[in-house]
Structure 1
Amino acid sequence: MTAILSASELMNELAGSRPPVLLDIRWQLGGPDQRPAYEAGHLPSAVYVDLDRELAGPAGSGGRHPLPEPEAFGAAMRRAGVSADTAVVVYDGGLGWAAARAWWLLRWTGHGNVRVLDGGLAAWTAAGGAVSADAVSPVEGDFKPSPGALGLLDADAAAALARSGLLLDARAGARYRGEVEPIDRVGGHIPGAVSAPTSENVGPDGRFLPTRALHSRFAELGATGDTRVGVYCGSGVSGAHQVLALEVAGIRSALYAGSWSEWSSDPSRPVATGPLP
């Protein structure tokens, strides 16, 4: 099962006898609620899922977007029509971060058939896909989460992996180097982590680079052979997109979900700055 699919592939599946459940995960960091945008036009039959309320727990010591309680997440997915034996396709406005967060959570909690629409809503409309403003009332699903299917790191495990394996920092390079920090307490990175901005996994159209190109990119960063790979970002959202990109490249990785927002909130944790790990 591939982790992503194209707009044309999704069109074919929606025309089939068992169409996938569609989840609209549009979201903007620090931006307005995207439900009005969803209501103005979404993929036909897609259900809106709120990242801040349904794909994250309350902000606090675990970072800005800590993982939701599994049962709360499962209830949200059941309300959206997700069942254990149904295919799920998630999409967002095109950046891919929010859709990847939903993909990661579903995969981590044991759903085996979930994919991201490559390029999101923009790719769908560019391919001639229809949008609808109709209200959607999904049939209640039966999905029950069983966490642990994907790798998950806490702060101590992330620090250890930065020393013994490969820990990738998915944020913009300027934040990694500590030149700017618009959100968190302090700029910089986890000592030993390697800068790998998520933006470099996609082309100008927001779609993932070809598998071979992604594999080469990660190999150059050190993801070779049996190297254990971990990922973090600001708060566990764009990091999920990096995990997805690694999956497309055929490389398994673990997510430090608390990410820099959790790490930097503790003054006792070390902080590195500059371009080197």
Structure 2
Amino acid sequence: MSARVTTTVSELRELLVSDRPPVVLDVRWALGDPHGRDHYADGHIPGAVYVDLDTELAAPASPEVGRHPLPDLAELQSAARRWGIRDGQAVVVHDDLGNTAAARAWWLLRHAGVTDVTLLDGALGAWRAAGLPLETGVPTAPAPGDVVLKPGGLPVTDADGAAELAGGGLLLDARAAERYRGEVEPVDPRAGHIPGAVSAPTGENLAADGTFLPPEVLRKRFEELGADAGSRIGVYCGSGVTAAHQIAALALAGFEATLFPGSWSAWSADPARPAATGPLPS
């Protein structure tokens, strides 16, 4: 994955007043917080378009495919056009949580062939910290876009593929360490992790200010977890959301990784799939 992964606040500020401003997508979402649209209305980057993760970046949930399965391509294209994305136009996405939710939009658009899509490094917090203005309320919808999406831009796998990566490659679990160990499980049917998976909490990709750690630091982190130039790497989380953030961090570090969209929510719902607990992979 050679395209840029992030855009800085200063870069975005300049782009927004250029002849070709990007579409800015605000993916305000957090597990257990259904009020993303309200948070957006309370203050957002001027011109940013609100994106609902549950309804626009995911298909309906089921035990077989998990809590946030990938959306149908035609429905994602309709949503992208509602957001105002035109063919060849740059897109910058962010949330208010270190981009751990916004990375889902980043990954989906990359997967669907949009090459110029980046994460606002530091997310909304970096915009605020720079003293830049916010607008309130819900603006009128943007002019419809004409983007044409096509699948296959980034690799995906299913539960069988994840199991194979856990045994013959490197499978990273992007959830919090206590969920990996099986000490707590707030939403999914069983506690634990996929046997053979390595704990790699998404939060450890970020500095204290919510920006990504430098690429060389991220590379050292992933090398210590078992990645190298020849690694086949897969990532999962609870439902395929924060795993996308891990894939962005891996890209910054120079590694390509495959997403298991069903993640633990689908794996743990299948009684035939084993679960491991404790701090070790198996």
The RMSD of aligned alpha carbons is 1.0
2:114 to 89, 92, 111: 111
- What CA distance in whole angstroms lies between the structure 1 residues aligned with 2:31 and 2:195? 26
- What CA distance in whole angstroms lies between the structure 2 residues aligned with 1:150 and 1:136? 33
The answer to whether the 8 A contact 1:45-1:136 is kept is no
Deviating above 3 A after TM superposition, structure 1's stretches of 4 or more consecutive aligned residues are: none
Correspondence for 2:44: 42
1:121 to 121, 124, 141: 124
Between 1:6-15 and 1:106-115, the stretch displaced more is 6-15
Correspondence for 1:72: 75
Correspondence for 1:18: 20
Correspondence for 1:130: 133
Query: How far apart are residue 203 of structure 1 and its match?
Result: 1.2
Q: Deviations along 1:118-163, whole A, 9 cap, x unmatched?
A: 1111110111221112514211111122111101010000000111
> In the alignment, residue 30 of structure 1 is paired with which amino acid?
G
Aligned with 1:153: secondary structure? coil
> In the alignment, residue 259 of structure 1 is paired with which amino acid?
S
2:163 to 154, 159, 167: 159
- What CA distance in whole angstroms lies between the structure 1 residues aligned with 2:113 and 2:97? 25
1:178 to 170, 175, 182: 182
> In the alignment, residue 118 of structure 1 is paired with which amino acid?
D
The answer to whether the 8 A contact 1:46-1:136 is kept is no
Please show how residues 78-89 of structure 1 align to structure 2 within 5 Å.
78-89=81-92
1:223 pairs with 2:223: no
* TM-score of the superposed pair, with normalisation by structure 2: 0.96
Aligned with 2:156: secondary structure? strand
> In the alignment, residue 96 of structure 2 is paired with which amino acid?
G
* TM-score of the superposed pair, with normalisation by structure 1: 0.98
> In the alignment, residue 55 of structure 1 is paired with which amino acid?
L
- What CA distance in whole angstroms lies between the structure 2 residues aligned with 1:271 and 1:32? 29
Aligned with 1:97: secondary structure? coil
Correspondence for 2:103: 100
| Unaligned stretches of 5+ residues in structure 2 | none
1:148 pairs with 2:148: no
Correspondence for 1:195: 199
- What CA distance in whole angstroms lies between the structure 2 residues aligned with 1:18 and 1:68? 29
- What CA distance in whole angstroms lies between the structure 2 residues aligned with 1:138 and 1:25? 16
The answer to whether the 8 A contact 1:110-1:146 is kept is yes
**Size of the alignment, in residue pairs?**
277
| Unaligned stretches of 5+ residues in structure 1 | none
- What CA distance in whole angstroms lies between the structure 2 residues aligned with 1:42 and 1:274? 41
Correspondence for 1:249: 253
